[in-house]
Amino acid sequence: MDNRPIGFFDSGLGGLTSIPPLRRRLPEEKIIYFGDTARTPYGSKAIRTIKGFSSEIADFLVQSNVKMIVIACNTVSATCVDDLRKRFPQIPILGIIEPTARMVAAECEELNRVGIIGTKVTIASHAYSDMIKEMNPSLNIVETACPAFVPLIEEGIIDNDIMDLTIKYYMDDFVKDNELDTVILGCTHYPLIKKNLERLYPDLKIINPSDIVVNRVEEILAEGDMFADGSDFRNVFYASDLSENFLNMIDHIFEEEADDAKVKFLNFDIENELLKRI
């Protein structure tokens, strides 16, 4: 038994899409979430910069006494997992890509045609395709970056023709030319446009890593006998910039949660606080 909280982090609000599935599956678990909203997006930054930011945040979470870290960001998972595991060997560090790659490699077959969409950095890293192909070389996998999705989502432009046109711009030919039957949402912001994708491509199976990562969290807690069994710790959600857009998006992500389960964010002065702690 281990009543310490689980640390989650993302470049911004996308990682919050893993929180409702975690709460439904493991209601006793407590959370410290860090969204680096002041420095988002990571998905088009240099890998060296992303490594620096994620190492600062992981350091903050470790100092906050979390029992495990979930990297709820595909861009960081694609580029920094090994470095973070080396730097913080004392706790399990879970990226969001590995559990999804395992699931796809196990469940998809040669006939399936799988597409991956994500940020420029995630797609250029080939982290998903390399991992899936290593486990199941017979699969047909193609990938494409959709860099305009994140800024539109952050602006709340979702249930809207502009978003639908942007999706079609990136995906119509990608889906048709590759005859895709499955697509992986390789960015934690993309579950927020899942309904658009389902409407535009009703025959496409959509795989959401924000749901799948929760299965692996449960396995790791079981393996280490680390389940919480009830503590007074109150979930804490930090953001390095509490912009109006950000606060609006929280309501969108947590719209199906009961009012008392909704999150309240604390502003975190990243320049001063994180740097002070290193």
Query: Where on the chain is the footprint of ligand DGL (CB under 6 A)?
Result: 10-12, 14, 40-43, 73-75, 119, 122, 150, 187-189
Smallest distance, ligand DGL to C-beta of residue 136, A = 23
Smallest distance, ligand DGL to C-beta of residue 75, A = 4
Pick the catalytic residue from 73, 80, 108, 146: 73
Smallest distance, ligand DGL to C-beta of residue 171, A = 17
CA distance 220 to 2: 12
Whether 73 sits among the annotated catalytic residues: the reply is yes
CA distance 5 to 233: 8
Phi then psi for 163, rounded to 5 degrees? Answer: -65, -45
Smallest distance, ligand DGL to C-beta of residue 239, A = 13
Whether 146 sits among the annotated catalytic residues: the reply is no
Given the complex with ligand DGL, which of 125 and 182 has the nearer CB atom?
125
Given the complex with ligand DGL, which of 28 and 82 has the nearer CB atom?
82
Given the complex with ligand DGL, which of 122 and 196 has the nearer CB atom?
122
Smallest distance, ligand DGL to C-beta of residue 16, A = 10
Given the complex with ligand DGL, which of 66 and 97 has the nearer CB atom?
97
Do the Cβ atoms of 265 and 29 come closer than 8 Å? no
User: Which position's Cβ is nearest ligand DGL?
Assistant: 43
CA distance 47 to 50: 5
Given the complex with ligand DGL, which of 187 and 274 has the nearer CB atom?
187
**Residues with catalytic annotation?**
73, 187
